[in-house]
Amino acid sequence: MANHKSAAKRARQSTKRTVVNSKRKSSVRTEEKKLIKAIETKSVKELPTLLSALTSKMTRAAQLGVFSKNTASRRIGRLSARVQALLK
């Protein structure tokens, strides 16, 4: 338990941020799974919208510090390469 008022506040903020960040991370993972499933089933019509949705959520999460920007960029790059290979 925190001994100082400021430490108690930081602990409260930390728990709130943890909940928000885990929800954001879960949301990004869900979008990623949807896209991967669409790639595996080769449903070409859905791919651009799913990739766009994933890119949006992933970059937003990276800006907010949930993921590293490099991690987000790497994941988006790999998935978009797979999408482009199917769209050709």
Taking 90 as the threshold, does the pLDDT of residue 83 lie above it? yes
Beta carbons within 8 Å of 62's beta carbon, 6+ residues apart: 68, 69, 71, 72, 73
Beta carbons within 8 Å of 38's beta carbon, 6+ residues apart: 46, 47, 50
Residue 88: predicted pLDDT: 85
Contact 38, 46 (CB under 8 A): yes
Distance CA 41, CA 30 (A): 17
Residues above pLDDT 90, as percent of the chain: 97
- The residues spanned by each domain of the chain are 27-87
The string of pLDDT tens digits covering residues 26-64 is: 999 999 999 999 999 999 999 999 999 999 999 999 999
